[in-house]
Copies of this chain bind each other. A is one copy, B any other.
Amino acid sequence: MESTWAQLLVGLLAVAGVFAAVVLGVLLLAWAPLRGRDPARARRWWSPLAPALRVLAETPVAVWARVRRWRLPRAVTAWLSGSLRHPARLVMLGFAAAVLVGTGLLSLPFATETGRSAGLVTALFTATSAVCVTGLVVVDTGTFFSSFGEAVILGLIQIGGFGIMTLASLLGLLVARRLRMRLQLSAQTETKAIGVGEVRRVVLGVMRISVIVEVLVAAVLAWRFADGYGYSTGRAVYLGVFHAVSAFNNAGFGLYADSLMQFVDDPLVCLPITAAVIIGGLGFPVLFELRRELRSPRTWSVHTKITVGMTVVLLAGGWLAISVVEWSNPGTLGGLGPGGKLLAGFTTAVMTRTAGFNSLNVAEFNDVTLLVHDVLMFIGGGSAGTAGGIKVTTFALLGFVILAEIRGEPSVHALGRRLPAGVQRQALTIVLLSVAAVAAATVALLALTPFRLDQVLFEVTSAFATVGLSTGITAQVGTAGHVILILLMFIGRLGPITAAVALALRERTRRYELPEERPIVG
């Protein structure tokens, strides 16, 4: 092993470089057929993102001229250019590319400490877990991977977290713009595209908040690791940066085999990490609004009000429930003092949504705590942030629908605003499809492994909501089980977002109406 720092640098550059090359390649392949043939196609969904795409794609025209001579099968270019018309497919393609790049890099012999390749499944699992900011691991990150491998993982986490925050925010803007246009008939005055200015604002805004939070938290952690635990400055900075990036991106990867268990009663380690987790989990739209209007909650949008309110409620509820149930469990809170119990309970409550570090031993939790975890993990965090799950707004929306139904009100109101009928059905669809995915995977894993329902349900929910907590069975579910978890992480990371966007953009009017009939329910 040469210099650790050199390895880290090479690793990060490798991820960034290869990923950029792959994205560029995809864009190049897809751009020309779209661009050359039909000017009308310029009006496709991606036209709002065109300014950003164009910058990336126009430059290496020469490269394209070469690629063109390869005469790729028409089906491939057709599929790729078709993908460009569906935001859902394109975002999935980007994440798949990142996972493949990561798998390739993590398969390299010098990505591991032993110098032997990690093997395809381990590399694919780790890369998916990193890009989808999940944090489930089949090998111990700190001891199995070399510094190069760790840097690759860190790079994948940053790409995954940044990508999801940026893309989800942009797609959110796109949906809002489209629906506004469809609603008002003043379509002429407003352009269909999200301007370069808006794209830049989102990208820079996400970058700024990421850098600020990660640097601050890394600094505090580095100081604490150096000062309180006697690490060398270099090592302390590295540990600080790794955990700060992992925390802000809600990734849950750590360099300690026991996650944060050795720091269970150290507020100077736990609190900065929880802060990064909560901020990252609120989502960019909320952070953007809070930055400007933190002091005037009345002016917040319904989205921000719901996200902040639900975050407070779920954190407080989780903290209380976990503390009460585990208070005297000798395997978890039992051995700690009152302060330590409160800190560990709070950290645990934060990590369920959906950061995935743990300062207590998950395998020792009471059944009830595991079930509380399942619920909190499934709900997850804020939209267009680094947290997973179905998202707090989706969950709250259904609550408002039920409330309206019980009150017998024809339209659904929340916090002084009417919620459109379309978004209600979208929330319902997302929740039920998510339940179906979790249920199907639970049945499959139950059938494939010798583990109990509570363990399997926990593992599946953790993978789907990209949480990364585990009762310890991740490494032992077999290859088929690993493939299921990989798919779950991917679907869980992208499914709810892309479903929401695809469904919202698909809203249309029906040309004919059938006669009405009412089945009996209940």
A contacts, CB < 8 Å to B: 172, 175-176, 179, 283, 285, 301-303, 306, 325, 366-368, 370-372, 375, 383-384, 390-391, 393-394, 396-398, 401-402, 404-411, 413-414, 416-421, 423, 425-430, 432-433, 439, 442-443, 446-447, 452-454, 457, 496-501, 503, 506-510, 513-522
Contacts and interface: CB of A to CB of B under 8 A. Distances in A.
Nearest to A430: B522
Given A384-B520, A393-B521, A402-B433, 17 more contacts: A302-B517, A367-B446, A367-B453, A371-B443, A383-B521, A401-B429, A402-B428, A405-B426, A409-B510, A411-B510, A417-B517, A421-B421, A423-B521, A453-B454, A496-B522, A498-B522, A501-B522
Contacts of A519: 301-303, 306, 383, 393, 396-397, 414, 419, 423
A336 B407 CA distance: 54
A390 to B, nearest CB: 7
A301 B519 CA distance: 8
Nearest to A397: B521
A466 to B, nearest CB: 13
27 contacts: A283-B520, A301-B519, A367-B446, A368-B447, A372-B443, A383-B519, A383-B520, A391-B520, A393-B521, A401-B425, A405-B425, A407-B506, A408-B503, A408-B508, A409-B508, A410-B508, A413-B514, A417-B514, A417-B516, A418-B516, A419-B517, A419-B518, A420-B516, A426-B522, A427-B521, A496-B522, A501-B522
Nearest to A371: B443
Copy tally for this chain in the complex stands at 2
A103 to B, nearest CB: 27
A454 B457 CA distance: 10
Nearest to A393: B519
| Residue of A402, A446, A453, A513 contacting most chain B CB atoms (<10 Å) | A453
Contacts of A408: 503, 506-508
Nearest to A179: B518
Given A368-B443, A410-B509, A413-B514, A391 B453 contact: no
Contacts of A503: 405-406, 408
Contacts of A520: 172, 175, 283, 285, 303, 383-384, 391, 393, 500
Contacts of A301: 517, 519
A391 to B, nearest CB: 6
A429 B410 contact: no
A418 B521 contact: no
Given A367-B453, A443-B371, A508-B409, A500 B514 contact: no
A417 B454 CA distance: 42
A411 B513 contact: yes
Q: 6 shortest A-B CB distances, which residue pairs?
A: A500-B522, A408-B506, A496-B522, A453-B454, A303-B519, A417-B517
Given A301-B517, A519-B303, A520-B285, A368 B446 contact: yes
Contacts of A429: 401-402, 405-406
A510 B407 CA distance: 11
Contacts of A397: 519, 521
B522 A391 contact: yes
A369 to B, nearest CB: 10
A506 B408 CA distance: 5
B518 A497 contact: no
B439 A375 contact: yes
| Residue of A175, A413, A446, A506 contacting most chain B CB atoms (<10 Å) | A446
A430 B510 contact: no
Given A383-B522, A501-B522, A508-B408, A514 B443 contact: no
A521 B506 contact: no
Given A398-B428, A408-B503, A420 B518 contact: yes
